[in-house]
Chains A and B, each alone.
Chain A
Amino acid sequence: MAYDSHVATDLDHDGHDHKPQGWRRWVYATNHKDIGTMYLVFAGISFFIGGTMAMLIRLELFKPGMQFMDPLFFNSMTTMHALEMIFGAVMPAWTGLANWMIPMQVGAPDMALPRLNNFSFWILPFAFTLLLATLFVPGGGPAGGWTMYPPLMLQGGASFPMTIFAIHMMGISSILGAINVVVTIMNLRAPGMTLLRMPLFVWTWLITAYLLIAVMPVLAGAVTMLLTDHFFGTTFFTAAGGGDPVMFQHIFWFFGHPEVYILILPAFGVVSEIIPTFSRKPLFGYEAMVYATASIAFLSFIVWAHHMFTVGMPLAGQLFFMLSTMLIAIPTGVKVFNWTATMYKGSLSFEPPMLFALSFLFLFTIGGLSGLMLAIVPADYQYQDTYFVVAHFHYVLVPGAIFAIMGAVYYWLPKWTGNMYDQTLGKWHFWLSTIFVNVLFFPQHFLGLAGMPRRIPDYAVQFTDWNMVSSIGGFCFGLSQFLFPYIIWKCVRGGERVGNRAWEGAHGLEWELPSPPPFHSWTEPPSDALINRGAAH
């Protein structure tokens, strides 16, 4: 393929590879790998901060009665834990992986908008410093839940405007990052890399990026209206002035439900990369996977009010949102079937990425099935705001999104560093995580079904036993996570060298580059032969 149809290399100047050194390399970073690394490190730090908050929550809930903290601080821990994990850990981790992998997988030299990329990242540390600073202002941190429902949220102290501003900054960062992803995929694919030859991770991220562009402005608009209600005398959500607090819930969940898929769609992409590699078979039903992803994204816009069944709505509304929610099970079922069919008669091996992908497959499905239960309107009247809901979304997000992120790191870490990590430790990390994530969250189903409400620091004595089990699972899960940064750190420092194709069964353009890859990924576009070899489906 003609070289100058894609990129040109300027050979006129000073002979270094334009790689700044020291702190400038990071602060002025425009390289997709450096920015990807910063996103991932940031996500890791947020994961441990958010995790510490989770440990405090589980500590307080270890037994009934008030133990260590006052109820307001407990509420602010649940709120901050959610904000920290969703906006600080999972979303930046996916953006980091997108930064690292998308240019390498589509045959591009870098992201399309490198300076915007730098800006997108560097907004985040300021946003989260502001958010965490709310814990130290009069009145404490935001305590109305991550959903920020008025009128409760409007009663917050000095933390209220700080939280809103932090969310605005996170939203801007996400929108700019999403624009960068779409522009890169639509404009910088190597010649011959047609849309239906793209790896599934690229496809799922493309669809995720469209979701982000569509819904983050809605969140920004909603919190801006909260702000004007609080400070400028508007009454969008204040019944006394003719407003409607339920309207906020509709707006929030119009953002919030696609947000759930923003967190999980890239996980589908990662699992669709890992399972074929360790099954040594092409992905079963590639095109069906693409269409299923697009269907899930579309459906995510028309199901929002299933979060609000008990708020009150017409029967027709309840039926519509119940049935549209259940429809999501169809494309999701296609995915689970295709992953299973990929493994069928495959030559399977169980390295850490595959273990995490398999765990994802089983445990995410449990989360999906409890989601179906919650979609049933009359049943939801029983489950609403109980620990059953907490169990459901943690199954989707922890062994779902977070295990997929860990699987992705274990999958691509040898490519990034050129070194193989300690796989034995990686398996230890996997088994401890998988066992204790179930000890942590499975009993919460029982608690919810027995009627324990969520977001309370104290509970009736009959819930004690399962809360103790859950807390012990939580502490062990939390402790076992320290293996993860240790394994990465050890791998970055050295280890057995790997070739271009770190895993025997791996396909895709990223595996055609050296390990570690050069500072600029594809300075010349890959040939058709390379693209064909990568597109194993």
Chain B
Amino acid sequence: MALGVPTLTDQRRRGVRRTALLLGFIAAAFYVGFMAMMIWRGSR
């Protein structure tokens, strides 16, 4: 790592990873859930 480049402390890095994964999961769940709901409705 070069001089002056800020790096995150472990605690912050964990927070970043946790929030990012949670939001990514929500977006993916919305997408898949939405499609599943539509397929269910379309096949009734």
A contact set with B: CB distance below 8 Å: 4-18, 109-110, 112-113, 116, 175, 178-180, 182-183, 186-188, 213-214, 216-218, 220-221, 224-225, 234-236, 242-243, 251, 519-520, 522-523
Q: Are A18 and B5 neighbours in the complex by a CB distance under 8 Å? A: yes
Residues of B within 8 A of A113 (CB): 16, 20
Which of A175, A188, A236 contacts B42, CB < 8 Å? A236
Residues of A within 8 A of B15 (CB): 186-187
Residues of B within 8 A of A5 (CB): 9
Q: Are B27 and A213 neighbours in the complex by a CB distance under 8 Å? A: yes
Q: Are B31 and A217 neighbours in the complex by a CB distance under 8 Å? A: yes
- Tally of contact residues, B, Cβ under 8 A: 25
A-B contact count (CB 8 A): 108
Residues of A within 8 A of B28 (CB): 217
Q: Are A14 and B2 neighbours in the complex by a CB distance under 8 Å? A: yes
Residues of A within 8 A of B9 (CB): 4-8
Q: Are B30 and A17 neighbours in the complex by a CB distance under 8 Å? A: no
Q: Are A520 and B1 neighbours in the complex by a CB distance under 8 Å? A: no
Residues of A within 8 A of B38 (CB): 221, 225, 236, 251
Pick from B4, B19, B31 the residue with the most CB of A within 10 Å.
B4
Which of A7, A187, A214 contacts B6, CB < 8 Å? A7
Question: In the complex, which residue of chain A has the Cβ closest to the Cβ of B5?
Answer: A18
B contact set with A: CB distance below 8 Å: 1-9, 12, 15-16, 19-20, 23-24, 26-28, 30-31, 34-35, 38, 42
Instruction: Offer 12 A-B interface pairs, CB within 8 angstroms, sorted by A.
Output: A7-B8, A18-B5, A112-B16, A113-B20, A183-B16, A183-B20, A187-B19, A216-B27, A217-B28, A236-B38, A251-B38, A520-B5
Residues of B within 8 A of A182 (CB): 19, 23
Q: Are B24 and A179 neighbours in the complex by a CB distance under 8 Å? A: yes
A101 to chain B, nearest CB (A): 18
Which of B6, B20, B26 contacts A109, CB < 8 Å? B6
Q: Complex Cα distance A13/B6, Å?
A: 13
Q: Are A13 and B3 neighbours in the complex by a CB distance under 8 Å? A: yes
Q: Known contacts A18-B2, A523-B4, A523-B6; is A6 also within 8 Å of B12 by CB?
A: yes
Q: Known contacts A183-B20, A236-B38; is A220 also within 8 Å of B5 by CB?
A: no
Q: Complex Cα distance A186/B12, Å?
A: 10
Q: Are B16 and A187 neighbours in the complex by a CB distance under 8 Å? A: yes
A480 to chain B, nearest CB (A): 40
Which of A6, A16, A251 contacts B3, CB < 8 Å? A16
Q: Known contacts A7-B9, A7-B12, A221-B38; is A13 also within 8 Å of B4 by CB?
A: no
B9 to chain A, nearest CB (A): 6
Residues of A within 8 A of B27 (CB): 175, 179, 213, 216-217
Question: In the complex, which residue of chain A has the Cβ closest to the Cβ of B34?
Answer: A221
Q: Top 7 closest A-B pairs, CB basis?
A: A217-B31, A109-B6, A18-B2, A217-B30, A10-B1, A221-B34, A7-B6
